[in-house]
Structure 1
Amino acid sequence: SEQESGYTGVPPASNRLVTTRRPPPPSTNRSSGRRRRRRGRPRRRAPAFHFLSRAREREPGSPTARVPSDRPPSSRAPLLPDPSRTLQIPGEPALGAARSLPGMDKSSALEYINQMFPTEASLSGVEPLMQKIQSEIRRVDASILAAVRQQSNSGTKAKEELAAATNAVQELMYKIREIKTKAEQSETMVQEICRDIKKLDCAKRHITTTITALHRLTMLVSAVEQLQVMASKRQYKEAAAQLEAVNQLCSHFEAYRDVPKISELREKLKNIKKILKSHVYSDFTSLGTGKETEDEDLLQQLSDACLVVDALEPSVREELVKNFCSKELISYKQIFDGAELAKLDKTERRYAWIKRRLRSNEDTWKIFPPSWHVDYLLCIQFCKITRTQLVDILNNLKEKPDVATLLLALQRTLEFEEELAEKFSGGTTTARNKELESDDENEGTEHNKIVSDIRKKYEKKLGVPNDEAEQDKEKQKDLSVPGAGFNFHGIISSCFEPYMAVYTELEEKSLVEQLDKLMQEEKWETEEGSQTNILSSSMQVFLVIRRSLKRCSALTKNQTLFNLFQVFQRILKAYAAKLYARLPKGGTGIVAAATGTDGQIRTSDRDEKMICYIVNTAEYCHQTSGELAENVAKIISSQFSDKVDMSDVQDEFSAVITKALMTLVHGVETKFDAEMVAMTRVPWSTLESVGDQSEYVNGISSILSSTVPALGSLLSPTYFQYFLDKVSSAFSLL
C-alpha cells in the first residue's frame, strides 16, 4: 500500500523531507479497481503531502519545499495559529488556519502544514477538516447570495420611492402655479370692481373735509365777531373762554393762511388781541392806587383779565408781570435812594419794607393765578435793585466801612435770603430764632447757628434793638409758591465780598489779642490729672480759630474766607514763635565744647517738664493745623480749595519740636559737666593702678537714672527715642 500511494517511508527525524510526488496514472480498468476496493480493502486517505502537491500544482513554478527539523516527531507540538484569525475546534485542526492558507506565502504554508500534520497519525484529521472547510464555504456563499438578493430588492424599492416623491413634488409645483394664477385673476377682478368705489370714496372724503372746513370757518367768523363785541365791552371772563375757542379754531386753518378770507380773519383777530391787551394793561394801572378798595368789582374784573392774559401769548403775561413789579418797586427806589435811607446801617429797613408790602397786599394779589408766581418774581426784582443800591452805597463811602455796620448789614441780608429761600423753595431750614438763642459754646454742633456769634459779638457795640425784625418774622405768613425754585442765597450778600477786608483785619486783630492774652495766662504746665501733657493755650488757640472760621463761613465762602485762612496761618506761626522763644537759653560748657553743640544749658526738673510739654504741644499743633486745612478746603469755594495749605505752619512746629528736643539734650549734657571737670583734673599718667569701679561713671549713671525715666513718661515714644539717640551720640563724640 505504501508503494501504491507513493510513500516510501518516514525519514529520520534529523533529516525528514516532505515532498510532493505526482501519483501514478490511474488504471485503465476502473471497474476492476472498484471491485477490489469494494471486496474489503479499506479506502485510504490521501496523505498530507498529496494535498500539498495539489496546492503546489495550482502554483506552477513553486519548488519543492524541504522543511528540516532537529526534533524527533514525537516531541513536536502542532503550531497554533493566531487566535484572532482562527477558530479553534477541540480535537481537530483549527478551521481558521485552513481559511488563512490561500493568504499565506509559500514558505509559510509549507511550514504550517508540516506543523499541523507532523506525523502520519495526524493525517487522519485531514478529511474532517476538508469537510468543515467546504461547509464553511457553502455557508459563506449562501450569506453572500442572500445579501445580494436583499440589496437588489432594496435598490428597486428605493428607486420606486424616489420616483414617487419626484412626481409628488411636480404635482405640488403645478398646484402652486395654478393657485398663483387664480389669485392674480381674483386681484384683477377686485381692482376692476373697486375702481369706481375708490373714486366715490375719495370724493366723499373731500366733500366731508370741505363741509367740516366751511363749518369751522363759519364758527370762526362768528366767534371773532363775538370776541370783538366782548373786547369792546371788557367782558374779560367771556372773552377769555371765547379767545380759547378762537385760538383752537385758528389752529385748523394754519395750512390756509394764504387764503384771502383766512388772512383777513387772522388780521382781524390780531387787532382784537391788541385791543384786549391795551384794555387789560389800562385796567391794571389802577391796581395799587387805592381804587380797588373803593370799587369792589375792580378786583374781580382784574382777576378775569388775568384769564384773558393766559389766553394771549406768553409774552403778554411776562410783560404785564414785569410792569406790575416795576410799578410796585417805584416807591421802594424813591424811598431808599434818598440821602436819609441810602445808608448801610439802614439795610435792615429795606427788608422790612418788602415784608410789609408782601403781607399787606396778600389779599389783593390773589387776583393773580398761582402759576404766575408774582410775589416770587417781585422778590427777585427787589433783590436785584437792592444789590445795585448797596453796591452804590459801598462805592460812595469815603472811608472804610465800619466793621460792625458792615457785618450787621451782611447778617440781615443773609437772614433775608434764607427766608426767601425757605418761602419759595418749599424747603425746611432752621429757624433764625433758635439760632439767635443758641449758646456760643455749642455752636460747633450745627453750622447754621454761626450767624448768632456775629450778633453776640457786635450787638453791644451797635446797641441796635432787633425787636422789629423779630416781630416781622413772627407775623410773616407762608406765601410759598410750589415749584418756583430759585436760589436766593448770595443774590444780595455777594455784593459785600469786595469790602470784607475790614472784617478780616478785625478778625486778625481779635485773634492776635486773644493769643497774647492766652500766652500771658499760660502757666507752662499741665493741670493735675491731665492725660494729654500739652499746654492749655494750644487748645484755646484752635478753639478761637475754629469759632472765627465758623463765623466767616456763615457769611461767605469765597475770597474773604481764604483771606481769613491766611490770617490763621499767621496766628499759628506767631504761636510757634512764642513756644520757640520760651525754650531755655545757655552758655558754653565742657560737654558742649567737646561735642560741638550750641552751648551749656542749665535746666531744672521743672524746665525739663516744660520742654516736654512744648514738644507735645508742638506735635498737637502740627497735627491739628493739618486737620484745620482739610476742613477749610471742604468749606471754601472750589476755586480756592487748591490753595489751602498748612505745610509752612507745620514746618514751623516741626522746628520747635527739634529745637526743644535738642535743648533737652543739652540740659542733660550740662548735668555731666561737674563729673567731666573732675575727671579731667585726675593725673591719669601718675596713677599706678585702676579699680573696677569709677566714681565718675557712677555719677553720670546716677544723673541718667534720675532724669531719663521722668522724661520718658512725658514724651511720646518717637521723640523719646530721638532724645536717647542724641544723648548717646554726645557720649560717642567725647
Structure 2
Amino acid sequence: MAVPGYGSNEDLYRIFNSPESLNELPELLGYINNYKVGLSNKIDEEIEQFKSTSSSELGDDVVELIQLMKQVRENALGTKSLIEGMTKSIQDLDRYKKNLVLSMTILKRLQMLINANNTLMNIIPTRDYKEILSLLSVIKELLIFFKPYKSIDEINQLNLMVINTQNKLIDDIFIDFEEFSKIPNPDGKKLVYGCEILELIDLKYKDKLLNWFYNMQLKELKTIFNNLDEAGSLDNLNRRYIYFSNTLKIVRSKFLDIFPKEWNIDLELSKLFCKLTKQDLINLISASSRINSKLLLDNLTTTLEFERSMNETFKNDQFDHIISSVFEPYLIIWVNDQESTLNSKLMEFMAISQLPTEFNVQTNSDLLTVLKVNNVPNIATSCTELFKTFQKILTQILKLSNGEILVDLNKLFVKYLYEFHNKILYPLVPKSEEDFTRSSGTDSIKYLTMLLNTGDYMINNIDDITEKFQTLIKDEFKNKLPLADNVKDVYYNLIAKSINGLLTKIANDSKFCWREFSNINWNSLEFINDVSGYLNDLKQILVEQNLRLILPLIIRDSYVRNFNDKLVELLLNSYADNLRYVKPLNVLSVEQLLLDVTSLKDLALNFPLYADPNLDETKSHQSKSYQKFVNNQFHQLESLLKVLLVPSEPMEGLIESYFELIGDKSIRNFMKVLNLKDIDKVIQQKYIDNFKIQLNIDDGGTLISHSTLLSNLDDEDDDHRDRERDRDGSTISTINSPTPEFKSPKILPTKMNNLEKNLRELAINGETHVSKFNENFKNFGKFFRKDNID
C-alpha cells in the first residue's frame, strides 16, 4: 500500500545518483525482497502473540457486560409497571371528564340550534332580514359543528328543517326583490340584508339574483336596440349609449342601496352592457358590406367618449378600449379616406403660386427693397399647409387609437411627402438652359432659393413628425414604422439641385466676363493695371445681380456657407480653366493675373456679408474657418500662377518649383502646367522623364497625390467642342449635410404666375433640351466635391 504524501522520486534519485549505480540494481532488489519477507514474518508473530495472550481476558469482560445489561432491563420493566399502575386511575378520570364536557357542549349547542331555528321560523313572516341574517349566521355556524354527527337521525332531521327554512327564505327574498323592482318602497333598504342572506346560504343564489337584476335592467335595451331593427344600427349607437346612461342613473338612484356596496352592481352592470354592445358591434360591422368612414369615425369618437365618461364615473380605467377595440381593425377605412383629403389639398397647391406674395416683384432693385424692408422667409406657401393637414389628421387618429393604425397613417404621410415633392416642388426645378432663359434672373433666384428653403423646412418637419410617431405609437409597433431617410433624401436632393441651379445661373451670367478675359491681348500688356476690366464686370455680376439677392433669401446660415464655398470653388476652377486661353503667358501677364486673383480673393472673403440685405461693408467679421477655406482655395491658384512665372529653362528649376509650389506628384497635372506654359509637345517628354527622376529621388512623403485645382482643370487633349462650349463653365455639387433646427413660418397663398405654369407643363409633358444642359452639369460637377458647413 502506498504511503499517502510519500514521493518516491526523491529517494530513487538519491539511490541512483549516477548512471553507474544502475549496475547495483539486482543487489538492491534482493535487499528489498529480504527486508519485505522479514517485515511479514514479524507481523505474523505479533498477531499470534496477541491472540494467545488476550482471548481469555476479553471473554470475561463481555460476559460481565451482558449480565449487567439484563439486570438494567429487568429493573426498567418493573419500574414501568409500577408507574402504569399509579397513573391508570388518573387517565380514566381524565377521559371521563372529557366525555362529560363534550356531551354537555353538544347538548348545549343542540339546544341553541333548536331555539335559534324555532326563533327563525317565527321571525321569517316578519321579513326582518337583519334579524334573520343574525339568526341564520348562528344556525350556519352551529350546523358546521354538528356536521360530523349527521348520521344521527335527530341531527339529520334538524339539518333538513334548517334547509327547508333556507329555501323559504330564498323564495321570500326573490319575491320581495320583484315587488320592489315594480314599486320601490321605503323598506327596500332592508333587502341589503336579504342579499347577504343569499350569499351566506350559497353563492349561487347571489349569482342568480344578480343575473335576474341585470337582465331586468337590460331587457328593454336589448329589445329596442337589437341588430334586426333600425335602432340597433350603427347610426343609432349614440342613442344606445344615452339610453344606458339613463338606465345607469336610475339604478344608482333606486337600487344601489338595496345591494351590498362590495357587489358594485352599477359597475358590473356597466361592464355587462359594454360586453353586449361590443358583441352587437362585431356582428353589425362584420355583416356590413361597405362601412362609411365618417360613420365609423363618428361611432368610434362617440364610443371613446362613452368609455371616458364611464372611467370618470367609476374613478378607474377599466373601460379603456372595452368597446372601441372593435373599431381598431376597421380604422384603415378612415385612413384610406384621408388620402382623398390629401389629394384634394395637393390639387389646391398646384393651382396657386408657391412664392410668398411679398416676392411678386420683377426687378432686382424691387426685390432688394423687399428684402431690406420685410423679413419674410422665402418658403413655398403650401408646405406649411401640408404639415398642418398632417397634424390635424394625426390629432384625430390619436383620439381614437395609438396602435398599429399609426403605421398605416405614417405610410400615407410618406406617400404624400413624395407626391408634394414630385408634383409641387420638382416641376419648379429648371431642367435645361432653356428653363433659365424663360425667366428673368430675378425669377430664377426667387424660385431656386424658395426650393432650397422649402427642402430644408420639409426635412426638419419630417424629423419632427417622425419623432411624434415614434413617441406616440405603442412600443410593440415602433419597429414597423417606415424609415424617413428615403423621403428625406429626396428633399436633400432638391436642396442640391437648388444650389446647383443658383451656381449654374451665376456661371451663365459670367460667360460674358470670361469671353472678355479670353479676348484680352495678354501678350501686349505694357504695364500692370490695378484691376482688369473683366474682373470689374465679374464683381458686378457676382454681387449686384446675384449675391445681394441670393444670400438674404437663403434662410439657414449653414446653407449660406455651403453656397459660398461652392461659389469660391466655381470661380477658382473657372479662372484656372480659362488660363489656357492666355498664350503665351509672359511675366507681365502672370503678374497681372496674380493681382486680379488677389482682388477676387478679397471679394470672396466678403461673400457672407451679403446675407444681410442691410449690410455694412465696413464691418467685416467673417468666421475664421471660412477665411481659412478661402485662403487655402486661392493659395492653389496663386501657386499655379507662380509656377507659370518660373522660366521653362532649366527644366530642373521648373520641376523643383512645381514640387515646392504645387506639391503634388501627378504626372498628368504636371503635363497640364507644361501645356499652360505652351512648351512644345515634342520636348515635353524630356520634362516628364526628368520629373519622374526627381520624384523618385526627392519624394520624402511630403508630396500629395494630386492638386485638386489642377485635377479639375480641363486638359487641352480633352474634347475641344465641349471645351469651347463650356470653357467658362461652372460646377454642380450635391449636399447632404446635417441642418440646424428650423420651425415653419406663416405663409400666405398667392396666384400662380406664368413661370410656374411653364415649368410644371415642362415637368408633365416632357423635358426638352435636357441633354445639352446635362453636359454642362457634367463639366461643372467635377469641380465641387466639398460639403463644408461652418
TM-score category by the smaller chain?
0.5 to 0.7
The separation in 2 between residues aligned to 1:541 and 1:313, in whole angstroms, is 65
Matched, 1:411 2:296: no
- In structure 1, the partner of 2:383 is 538
The separation in 1 between residues aligned to 2:308 and 2:475, in whole angstroms, is 22
The separation in 2 between residues aligned to 1:583 and 1:647, in whole angstroms, is 23
Q: CA deviation at 1:325?
A: 0.6
- In structure 2, the partner of 1:388 is 279
Alignment of 1:295-306 (within 5 A): 296=185, 299=188, 302-306=191-195
- In structure 1, the partner of 2:563 is 723
The letter of the residue matching 1:494 is: S
* Alignment equivalent of 2:538, drawn from 700, 708, 729: 700
- In structure 1, the partner of 2:472 is 635
The separation in 2 between residues aligned to 1:250 and 1:520, in whole angstroms, is 90
The separation in 2 between residues aligned to 1:498 and 1:395, in whole angstroms, is 11
- The change in CA–CA distance for 1:636 and 1:526 in structure 2 (over 3 A counts) is farther
Alignment of 1:462-611 (within 5 A): 485=316, 487-518=318-349, 520-525=351-356, 529-530=374-375, 533-578=378-423, 580-588=425-433, 604-611=441-448
* Alignment equivalent of 2:107, drawn from 198, 209, 214: 214
Structure number with greater Rg is: 1
Range 538-547 or range 216-225, more displaced: 216-225
Alignment of 1:356-435 (within 5 A): 356-365=246-255, 366-398=257-289, 400-425=290-315
Matched, 1:248 2:86: no
Question: Which has a greater percent of helix?
Answer: 2
The separation in 2 between residues aligned to 1:572 and 1:664, in whole angstroms, is 24
Matched, 1:658 2:503: no
Q: CA deviation at 1:423?
A: 0.8
Q: Is the 2:355–2:378 contact (alpha carbons within 8 Å) kept by the matching residues of 1?
A: no
The separation in 1 between residues aligned to 2:283 and 2:212, in whole angstroms, is 24
Q: CA deviation at 1:237?
A: 3.8
Range 542-551 or range 401-410, more displaced: 401-410
Matched, 1:333 2:173: no
Q: CA deviation at 1:369?
A: 2.8
- In structure 2, the partner of 1:316 is 205
How big is each residue's C-alpha offset from its partner over 1:209-245, in whole Å with a ceiling of 9 and x where there is no partner?
A: 5433432232123324444555577654432221111
Q: CA deviation at 1:554?
A: 0.7
Q: RMSD across aligned C-alpha pairs, in angstroms? A: 3.7
How big is each residue's C-alpha offset from its partner over 1:353-386, in whole Å with a ceiling of 9 and x where there is no partner?
A: 1122233454431322332222221111111112
The separation in 1 between residues aligned to 2:95 and 2:464, in whole angstroms, is 84
The separation in 1 between residues aligned to 2:243 and 2:459, in whole angstroms, is 51
The separation in 1 between residues aligned to 2:492 and 2:161, in whole angstroms, is 87
Question: Percent same amino acid at aligned positions?
Answer: 24
- The change in CA–CA distance for 1:526 and 1:662 in structure 2 (over 3 A counts) is farther
Q: CA deviation at 1:521?
A: 4.1
Matched, 1:355 2:232: no
Matched, 1:273 2:104: no
* Alignment equivalent of 2:505, drawn from 663, 667, 677: 667
**What SS does the aligned partner of 1:341 have?**
helix
- In structure 1, the partner of 2:459 is 622
The letter of the residue matching 1:537 is: S
How big is each residue's C-alpha offset from its partner over 1:175-214, in whole Å with a ceiling of 9 and x where there is no partner?
A: xxxxxxxxxxxxxxx9999998888677656644543343
The separation in 1 between residues aligned to 2:511 and 2:198, in whole angstroms, is 101
- The change in CA–CA distance for 1:675 and 1:307 in structure 2 (over 3 A counts) is same
The letter of the residue matching 1:246 is: I
How big is each residue's C-alpha offset from its partner over 1:391-449, in whole Å with a ceiling of 9 and x where there is no partner?
A: 22222323x22333332222222222111111112xxxxxxxxxxxxxxxxxxxxxxxx
Q: Is the 1:711–1:720 contact (alpha carbons within 8 Å) kept by the matching residues of 2?
A: no
Matched, 1:712 2:551: yes
- The change in CA–CA distance for 1:531 and 1:299 in structure 2 (over 3 A counts) is same
Q: Is the 1:615–1:661 contact (alpha carbons within 8 Å) kept by the matching residues of 2?
A: yes
The separation in 2 between residues aligned to 1:701 and 1:301, in whole angstroms, is 102
The letter of the residue matching 2:329 is: P
Q: CA deviation at 1:713?
A: 3.6
Q: Is the 2:377–2:553 contact (alpha carbons within 8 Å) kept by the matching residues of 1?
A: no
Give the total of aligned pairs. 473
- The change in CA–CA distance for 1:600 and 1:197 in structure 2 (over 3 A counts) is farther
- In structure 2, the partner of 1:343 is 233
- The change in CA–CA distance for 1:244 and 1:559 in structure 2 (over 3 A counts) is same
- The change in CA–CA distance for 1:196 and 1:580 in structure 2 (over 3 A counts) is same
The separation in 2 between residues aligned to 1:710 and 1:212, in whole angstroms, is 112
The letter of the residue matching 1:650 is: K
- The change in CA–CA distance for 1:486 and 1:599 in structure 2 (over 3 A counts) is closer
Q: Is the 1:584–1:601 contact (alpha carbons within 8 Å) kept by the matching residues of 2?
A: no
- The change in CA–CA distance for 1:695 and 1:586 in structure 2 (over 3 A counts) is farther
How big is each residue's C-alpha offset from its partner over 1:657-700, in whole Å with a ceiling of 9 and x where there is no partner?
A: 1221211221221112222344455677x857685553333332
The separation in 2 between residues aligned to 1:522 and 1:362, in whole angstroms, is 62
Q: Is the 1:303–1:368 contact (alpha carbons within 8 Å) kept by the matching residues of 2?
A: yes
Q: Is the 1:284–1:302 contact (alpha carbons within 8 Å) kept by the matching residues of 2?
A: yes
- The change in CA–CA distance for 1:552 and 1:243 in structure 2 (over 3 A counts) is same
- The change in CA–CA distance for 1:368 and 1:688 in structure 2 (over 3 A counts) is closer
**What SS does the aligned partner of 1:642 have?**
helix
The letter of the residue matching 1:708 is: L
**What SS does the aligned partner of 2:304 have?**
helix
